[in-house]
Amino acid sequence: MTYLKFYDVEKERFSTAQNVTLEFPLAQRIVKKLARHFKVTNFSGVRKQTTRWCGHAYSDYSISIPKKATLLLICHEVAHLYNKQYLGDWSHSKKLMRTLKRIVHYALKMLPLWVGNSRVVSLLYTSNRPQEAKIE
């Protein structure tokens, strides 16, 4: 799967997670919860990225995310760490898409519990058109 096509397919398949925006402290907690649940044992932390809107997974098993990150971005970076640890692969491939699917479905299922506000999350499922849900 080519690089840019991967991002288009990702945003199309996981549009619900793309529409959930999280502030940095909550995003940092969710990254730690996902890494612990999926047993990314080498995980070393989350960095705040101030200059760009995208995230990055580093070879020391840390992640950088912007001040306002989408749930999809967080899951994408955790999927990179998971694939590197268990499959030895950083690439944007079908394997990463399978891992991302597992992580996104788990994150969406657990988000009401993590956020503590199920009403905000339920809005994402009631409308046919995408909504922007800002969770602080």
**Tokens 């997670």, residue located:** 17
> Parallel, antiparallel, or unpaired: how do β-strands 133-135 and 68-70 relate?
unpaired
Q: Cα dihedral angle (11, 101, 124, 107), rounded to 10 degrees? A: -130
Regarding pTM above 0.85, the answer is no
3-state helix, strand, coil split of the chain in percent (to 5) is 55, 15, 25
H or E segment to which residue 37 belongs: helix 24-37
Q: Looking at the chain, how many residues does it have?
A: 136
pLDDT tens sequence across 76-134: 999 999 998 898 888 888 999 999 999 999 999 998 888 876 545 554 554 444 455 55
**Tokens 């955790």, residue located:** 78
What's phi and psi for 41, nearest 5 deg?
A: -70, -25
pLDDT tens sequence across 55-73: 777 777 788 888 888 899 9
* Domains by residue range for the chain, with CATH: 8-135 (3.30.2010)
